[in-house]
Structure 1
Amino acid sequence: MLAVVVVLFLVAGLSDSKILSKCELKQQLETGLSLPSTNSADMLAQIVCHVQNSSSFNTSAIKTIPEPEEPHGNHGSRHRRSPGGKKKGHPSSSESVENKSEVWTLYGLFQLSDHVVCNSTQSRALNLCGLTCTKLIDDNISDDINCVQTLINAVTAQIPDPNIVKHIREMISLIYQPECNMVKATSYFADC
């Protein structure tokens, strides 16, 4: 009986899922995002590259990770160092609970964090996008795109609260992927 309930839950959860193509997402972002004019085509390609690598274009993707450390020139690092210099990231079972970092849940197509952009029952959140996290895992991506726009606007704005700035930088460190940094729109979108 439990197996039947689990299967029904998974089927119901997947019914709101949609897998987009690279070209579909490009088209929706072109009409839904306002990017800085400098290199906007390449920036769009880098955003789509991130989506491809992090969620495989799945609108219902959910992942948990250890809390990222605020970047200090080491973009993309998701590991913390203890005072002795030992990397922490995915703590081993022998580590004490006090040494484990807080867990962040990443939601949807863009893998946006429940600690920064949306409100879940699992965490205290800044909720910059004013959404419940479940809105980021349905097949309607207009609110996801609006949330990415909010993040882009927040990155370029002067924010007086250092705690908000810290969390935005942590969120950006999740999005930053070295393999997408040099992506050029002309080659990345050549088949669109």
Structure 2
Amino acid sequence: MKMLAAVVVLFLAAGLSDSVILTKCGLKQQLQTSLTLPPNTTNVLAQIVCHVQLTSNFNTSAIKTINETEKPHESQGPRRGRSAKNVRPTKVTPKPHLESGEDKNEFWTLYGLFQLSDHVVCNSTQRHSLNLCGLTCNKLLDNDISDDLACVQVLINKMTAVIPDPETAKHIHKMISLIYQPECANAKASVYFADCPQP
């Protein structure tokens, strides 16, 4: 009986191997070694990690669908008076994909740890994408976050770049605005990462 239980546990563990739940401190460390941030942006790291906590709860295989006009946290209900430290996102039921002309609103599917959009950063084969990161969206759902981190770096670089096409600029700025949510806007690294070991 014990042998059967061990086999079941191993089988379940193997089935979950593509999904990893990171920790706040672990993600902070990976971001510090992987990202090049603009000068004088000491709290940007805390804001990015806060975004990850609110939207994917540090799950590398999180997927959500939102209306293009809303932010991911709006589709999960109000968060007034709740600390970002203790927020656990609720599961969002994907909205049906509508044929062209049925609804003026577009839906974005957000992928992975950083909840990056299939309209902007990756190709889902379901709609046209800028595909800034040159990835299929499934690459943002596995336990290797090196491509996710590289994609976040692309977005950070775009924050200061001149984008000549207004439609492209609109989508890029929308994607970047998802990282700067109101709940995370005032996140201070010294407070948010207070419980993380110092290097």
TM-score by length of 2: 0.74
* Corresponding letter in the other structure for 2:103: N
> Could you report, residue by residue, the CA deviation over 1:59-110 in whole angstroms, capped at 9, with x for unpaired residues?
00000011137xxxxx99979xxxxxxxxxx99xxxxx63351211000000
The residue type paired with residue 48 of structure 1 is: V
Distance 2:115 2:74 in 1: 15
Q: Which residues of 2 match residues 90-105 of structure 1 at below 5 A?
A: 98-105=102-109
1:49 is matched with: 50
Instruction: Pick the aligned partner of 1:29 from 31, 34, 59.
Output: 31
Aligned pair partner of 1:169 in 166, 173, 176: 173
Between Structure 1 and Structure 2, how many residues are aligned? 162
Deviations 1:170-190 (A, max 9, x none): 112322210100010001001
2:148 maps to a residue whose letter is D
Aligned AA for 1:35? L
- Does the residue aligned with 1:98 lie in a helix, a strand or coil? coil
Alignment of 1:188 with 2:192, yes or no, is yes
In the TM superposition, 1:38-77 aligns within 5 A as 38-39=40-41, 41-68=42-69
- Cα distance change of structure 1 residues 29 and 99 upon mapping to structure 2, 3 Å threshold: same
What stretches of structure 1 of length at least 5 have no aligned partner? 1-9, 70-74, 80-89, 92-96
1:87-142 per-residue CA deviation (whole Å, 9 max, x = no partner) reads xxx99xxxxx6335121100000000000000012111000000000110000001
- C-alpha distance in 1 between matches for 2:72 and 2:148: 22
CA contact (8 A) 1:76 1:178 kept: no
Distance in 2 (CA, whole Å) between partners of 1:76 and 1:57 is 15
Tell me, in whole angstroms, the C-alpha distance in 2 between the residues paired with 1:48 and 1:105: 20
Q: Is the 8 A contact 2:66 2:72 kept in 1?
A: no
Question: Quick one: structure 1 residues 107 and 127, their matched pair in 2 at CA, closer, same or farther if it must change by over 3 Å?
Answer: same
Q: How many percent identity over aligned positions?
A: 68
Q: Does residue 19 of structure 2 align to residue 17 of structure 1? A: yes
Distance 1:13 1:101, change over 3 A: farther
Task: Find the counterpart in structure 2 of residue 120 from structure 1.
Answer: 124
Structure 2 unaligned regions, length at least 5: 1-11, 76-93, 96-100
- Counterpart Cα distance in 2 of 1:78 and 1:174: 11
| 2:131 aligned with 1:106 | no
- Structure-2 residue corresponding to 1:134: 138
Residue 164 of structure 1, CA deviation: 1.1
Cα-Cα RMSD: 2.5
